[in-house]
Amino acid sequence: MSSVDQLRWSEPNDATPFLPERKTLSSLRDAAAGCRGCPLWRNATQTVFGEGLKRSRLMLIGEVPGDKEDRSGQPFVGPAGRELDKALEAAGIDREEVYVTNAVKHFSFTERGKRRIHQTPKRFHIDACRPWLDSEIELIRPEAIVLLGATAGKALLGSKFKLGESRGRPLESDLAPLVTATAHPSSILRQRDDDARHAERRMFTEDLKRVAQMLAAG
Ligand code: SF4
């Protein structure tokens, strides 16, 4: 049995016991700070809970906090967050009016020397963390949800989700009146050269513009 599997079987795999009795965004945030629902809390600095207003019409769901987010305790404040901010601005969406969160609330990484390298969370991390995300959706009841990247798509819509097929169009889901998907903003940073980065940035912005138009029409 691998060490990951050993941890999987020897530790809890569900955040449910950590949920507060009375759910508000602030009681959820406080309770999530003490979550031990899966092994990811052990090496991370802190829980990175979602951020935004309860009345947000739009919710963006990413994969997992990154290095900067882990240190600051806030979602989307690192390089990918800066890409997100630029794209939201270009799409005419005020970030203050958007609720941003992740499918998994603790940083998942491996160490390479002094560097902490992002590691895609496993399915059992995503399943364990789902009660937090479900609670956020239940409280905010957004008009639109945008899934950022394949991991968020699979987490919410199932393992058959394919970003290439689903990107930029309305998807069938009970999660919100409008559910759609686009790339994770970190994909812009992973492109091999400036041209590819500009193209990915343009596509990402266009996807968000379409969401803004649908929200304005709705
Ligand atoms: S990743 Fe989610 S389930 Fe796992 S410890 Fe953190 S908050 Fe709890």
Each residue's pLDDT, cut to its tens digit, for the chain (218 residues) gives: 555 555 555 678 999 999 999 999 999 999 999 999 999 999 999 999 999 999 999 999 999 999 999 999 999 999 999 999 999 999 999 999 999 999 999 999 999 998 999 999 999 999 999 999 999 999 999 999 999 999 999 999 999 999 999 999 999 999 999 999 999 999 999 999 999 999 999 999 999 999 999 999 87
The 8-class DSSP code of residue 128 comes to H
Ligand 1 touching residue 38 (CB < 6 A): yes
Q: Give the H/E segment covering residue 216.
A: helix 194-217
> pTM of the prediction?
0.94
What's the CA gap between 132 and 134, in Å, rounded? 5
Looking at beta carbons, which pairs linking 24-30 to residues 24 or more positions away fall under 8 Å? Answer: 24/139, 25/50, 25/54, 25/136, 25/139, 25/140, 28/132, 28/135, 28/136, 28/139
The ligand 1 atom at the shortest distance from the C-alpha of residue 108 is 1
Ligand 1 touching residue 41 (CB < 6 A): yes
Q: How far is the CA of 208 from the centre of ligand 1 (A)?
A: 28
Please name every residue paired with 101 in a beta bridge, in sequence order, or none if there are none. 61
The 8-class DSSP code of residue 114 comes to T
Ligand 1 touching residue 128 (CB < 6 A): yes
The ligand 1 atom at the shortest distance from the C-alpha of residue 128 is 3
Question: Is the separation of the CB atoms in 133 and 99 below 8 Å?
Answer: no
Ligand 1 touching residue 40 (CB < 6 A): yes
- In Å, how far are 122, 150, 159, 181, 200 from 63, measured between CA atoms? 11, 8, 14, 12, 18
